[in-house]
């Protein structure tokens, strides 16, 4: 019994940093505060600067080498036995995440507003 407790404690000590690293935001995650601005109330100069911020953020997110990895760890007991499991997945998608798509959509909306105000060619 003491041995299984020691094994579980050691396993948790080794695997806990992996779980904590998995909870960190990805380096390519866009700045969520950019989507909170009301671009329709901005002056022309503010709108131009805001569009530049969106472009910069999208470029930064595109340059970031991002690989989505998830790690799962499970512990359990059944019929007097104790067990644990570790599972890892890596997503090899094209880098289109919801936050990036939201930034791209906002940039398109801002550019449409800039065209409406004649700040960009039609």
* The predicted structure's pLDDT at residue 59: 85
Q: How far apart are CA 97 and CA 67, in angstroms?
A: 12
Model confidence, pTM: 0.52
Please give the helix or strand (H or E) that residue 114 lies within, else none.
Answer: helix 98-116
* The predicted structure's pLDDT at residue 73: 72
Strands 81-91 and 68-78: antiparallel
Digit-by-digit pLDDT tens for the chain (122 residues) are 666 667 667 666 665 665 555 555 554 455 667 888 999 999 999 999 999 999 999 888 776 645 566 667 766 666 667 666 666 665 554 445 667 788 899 999 999 999 999 998 87
């Amino acid at each position: 019994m003491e041995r299984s407790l020691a094994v579980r404690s050691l396993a948790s000590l080794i695997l806990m940093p992996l779980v904590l690293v998995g909870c960190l935001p990805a380096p390519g995650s866009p700045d969520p505060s950019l989507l909170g601005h009301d671009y329709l109330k901005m002056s022309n100069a503010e709108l131009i600067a805001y569009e530049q911020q969106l472009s910069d953020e999208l470029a930064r997110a595109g340059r970031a080498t991002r690989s989505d990895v998830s790690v799962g760890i499970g512990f359990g007991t059944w019929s007097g036995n104790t067990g644990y499991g570790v599972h890892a997945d890596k997503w090899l998608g094209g880098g289109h995440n919801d936050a990036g798509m939201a930034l791209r959509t906002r940039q398109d909306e801002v550019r449409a507003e800039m065209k409406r105000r004649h700040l960009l060619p039609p």
